[in-house]
Amino acid sequence: MNSSSDQTRKRGVQIHPRGIGTHPSRTEAHPSGTHAHPRSVVVEQPLEPLGVPAPMRQTRNHPARGYAPQGYPPQGYSMQSCSGHGRAARGSVTAEFAVLLPALVLLLAFVGAVATVGTAQVRAQHAAGIAAREEARGAHVDVARVAGAGTTHRVQRSNEWVTVEVKNTVKLWKFLGPGIPVQATATARVEEVVSDALK
């Protein structure tokens, strides 16, 4: 028995006192002059019971999953506060939209009013030009048919010139104010038109 122990120590392997296995010890010089390689160590570890996970290992640079640093989460922070913040943001957006909607409606109404008045002004100017040319020839024209219902006109003759003034009132919305007045004037020379007619 002693001889076998001596041989084992010479090989660089020490017998475990419990007899479970062998573990490497300090490598001693081999009689042949080379270093002996330690044998593999077999260590029995108790098995974890089923259903109980092993504790997670963590290091300073690589924390384990689910590991939270000290001081996290901040005081007063919770999922409920996060959801409440989302509802508050949606509420603020709805309030801003409710404030901007009337302004948008007023802007569209203003653009429509400007377009309506501009169209009425163009029609009045066109009717005044037609009426001036016809009056210069000695004829008459229905200005209301050209410029629209409610249009009035006035003819002024001054030597060789005929001036026609057309007026109209544009009502943007019913029952809202008297309307916006529109006025246009056109002048034609009588002598040139008459001379052309006599040829």
Residue with tokens 């009045």: 124
Q: List, for residues 96-154, the tens digit of each pLDDT value.
A: 888 888 999 999 988 988 998 999 999 999 999 988 888 888 888 888 888 777 788 88
Long-range pairs for 110-118 at CB < 8 Å and ≥24 separation? Answer: 112/172, 113/172, 113/180, 116/170, 116/172, 117/170, 117/172, 117/180, 117/182
Q: Using CA atoms, how far apart are residues 117 and 179, in angstroms rounded to an integer?
A: 10
Residue 103's domain spans which residues? 99-198
- In this prediction, residues 81-93 reach a mean pLDDT of 61
pLDDT of residue 26 exceeding 50: no
For the four alpha carbons of 89, 90, 94 and 100, in that order, the dihedral sign comes to positive
- Letter string b/e over residues 65-75, b meaning 16 or more CB atoms within 10 A of that residue's CB: eeeeeeeeeee
Position 148 scores a pLDDT of: 78
Is 190 inside a domain boundary?
yes
Peptide bond into 73 cis (omega under 30): yes
Is 5 inside a domain boundary?
no
Q: List, for residues 40-71, the tens digit of each pLDDT value.
A: 555 565 555 555 555 555 555 555 555 555 55
* More confidently predicted of 198 and 98: 98
DSSP of 135-161: HHTT----HHHHH-TT-EEEEEEETTE
Q: Using CA atoms, how far apart are residues 76 and 79, in angstroms rounded to an integer?
A: 10
- In this prediction, residues 161-178 reach a mean pLDDT of 82
Position 174 scores a pLDDT of: 66
Q: Which of 78-82, 140-144, 158-162, 170-174 has the lowest mean pLDDT?
A: 78-82
pLDDT of residue 8 exceeding 50: no
Is 109 inside a domain boundary?
yes
Is 59 inside a domain boundary?
no
Number of domains, the chain:
1
Is 130 inside a domain boundary?
yes
Position 141 scores a pLDDT of: 81
Is 176 inside a domain boundary?
yes
Is 132 inside a domain boundary?
yes
Is 186 inside a domain boundary?
yes
